[in-house]
Structure 1
């Protein structure tokens, strides 16, 4: 972000059948200056014990003149990295997994690590799972603050988790965690699924919103802009009106883009470049 002009970042989710360097090369050719790193193991391996050589990422940044502005670790079912993990050994693994993600972001001088509440088993008490999640999140927020990395939590859709789906859920969760280093990632997919708006988010959280997963949908789907029913210019105007200061990441995850992911990114950035603030 430079001044009050919003900037976008590409994400590698839909580039999963190409190499990480293919993704960086594609982002550079499409005119991106920033990317958000999703920790898909086919691109950059990360678990609770280890992670790939960060120097690889630094070399790609330098070679393609692109900055990694954030880290988005894998963390939804069936991934093992559940913020609401139930058993002690599992909780230890989850803590060290996210600790490693925070360390990677620190070494890269990134702006944030995106997190979620995790998920509960459908046969257990949701409040107990939410409490476990908040306790884990507080520990990680404390560690991330030491490392100078904010955590940005996004709501999830009900098919992913029942713990935090709405603005009201996010408010309650922030109070439960009670740590200033936990911020908000506005995910337009989860927002649309909850029948909420960008205005609703900013009226509730204001400057605590530090990141945005900026995608089209019908109303959801994490699609490239132009393939859903959202109006990018209207959304950008609202973000501009609220003086949004974070990045807009094109978190495209729909499998329709796996064969030619660069074309989806191209559509997004071309539409963004046509927008001019009112």
Structure 2
């Protein structure tokens, strides 16, 4: 059966050099990574970014593909898709179009985006309209460069604009761009009371990416095997819906900061064990 590729991300390597992240991905058998643009790993703002050759060298040395770019974009980061002031809007546009350029240069296929966030003392509809307008601009640029934007829901109180399947559906309808697709973030999904099947029922093949994590009382973004979800059942639901993206482990659990390699090893082991269970139960899936 086709195995959905597993990727890892570098959030929990924030106290390690980026090369250790790439070398660990290679050692543990991850075929690809999603690169979070943390400034200590790969600096990027609206004016500049580190040389692309840094990423190209690591990807080549460790034979690990960069499948996507995940820019920094939640409050208090300045890159707010729903920014209100004109100067902040132009900085936001410059930042995300730079992310598109970086993705294109390193051979990635997508950039992860969110709706941005609203001020609590303004009408939510105003912020949502600003977010849609900015997403439309950036999506037009991305489409011209052959890059998709994958938008994920955010949890309250990170944002009030897009927390659920229904909110994301509204955003996609408002933007109306073929370059704007969906990232299913398991943590945000659980927080909103949505389901994996509900995402596919709403968006079908427009679900092109997943932040695939375990969830527990400590965090909704745990390494696989560190929480309470049935990882095999989750993978099987993606497979039944013909998912052709990757499952990207967005581990942000602070308890993994001192041993991110161990966390990634648990995730890979849990993923492989899950596929063994799936294949034993339904070898023709």
Q: TM-score, normalised by structure 1?
A: 0.97
Q: Is 1:76 aligned to 2:74, yes or no? A: yes
Distance 1:269 1:174 in 2: 33
1:240 aligns with 2:236: no
- Give me the whole-angstrom Cα distance separating, in 2, the residues matched to 1:4 and 1:132: 40
Partner of 2:260: 261
- Output the TM-score relative to the length of structure 2: 0.95
Measure the CA separation in 2 of the matches of 1:175 and 1:168. Answer: 11
Matches within 5 A, 1:98-247: 98-218=96-216, 220-247=219-246
Given that 1:4 and 1:243 are in contact with CA atoms closer than 8 Å, whether structure 2 keeps it comes out as no
CA contact (8 A) 1:213 1:251 kept: yes
The residue aligned with 1:31 is 29
Please give the alpha-carbon distance, in whole angstroms, between the structure 2 residues aligned to 1:97 and 1:238: 35
Unmatched 5+ stretches in structure 2: none
In the aligned structure 1, how far is the partner of 2:77 from the partner of 2:195? 29
Please, what is the CA RMSD of the aligned residues? 1.0
* Kept after mapping to 2: 8 A contact 1:111/1:150: yes
Cα deviation digits, residues 168-208 of structure 1 (max 9, x gap): 10111111111111000000000000111101101111000
- Distance in 2, matches of 1:154 and 1:98, equals 15
> For residues 30 and 16 of structure 1, what CA distance do their matches in structure 2 show?
19
Q: Secondary structure at the match of 2:252?
A: coil
Aligned residue in 2 for 1:54: 52
SS of the residue corresponding to residue 245 of structure 1 reads coil
Return the alpha-carbon distance in structure 2 between the equivalents of residues 95 and 254 of structure 1: 30
Task: Report the CA distance between 1:41 and its aligned residue.
Answer: 0.4
Question: Alpha-carbon deviation of 1:109?
Answer: 1.4
Residue-pair matches, total: 276
Structure 1: 5+ residue runs without aligned partners?
Answer: none
CA-to-partner distance for each residue in 1:225-254, whole Å, 9 max, x for gaps? Answer: 111111100101111111110000000011
Contact residue 4 and residue 245 of structure 1 kept, 8 A:
no
CA deviations 1:95-139 (Å, max 9, x no partner) are 000010000000111121000000011011110000000000000
CA distance in 1, matches of 2:256, 2:3: 28
C-alpha distance in 2, partners of 1:117/1:250?
Answer: 21
- Give the CA deviation at 1:159: 1.7
Question: Which segments of structure 1 move beyond 3 Å, counting only runs of 4 or more?
Answer: none
Give the distance between the partners of 1:143 and 1:83, measured in 2 at CA: 15
- Measured in 2, the distance between the counterparts of 1:227 and 1:66 equals 25
Report the Cα distance in structure 2 between the residues aligned to 1:193 and 1:128, rounded to whole angstroms.
Answer: 24
| 1:9 match | 7
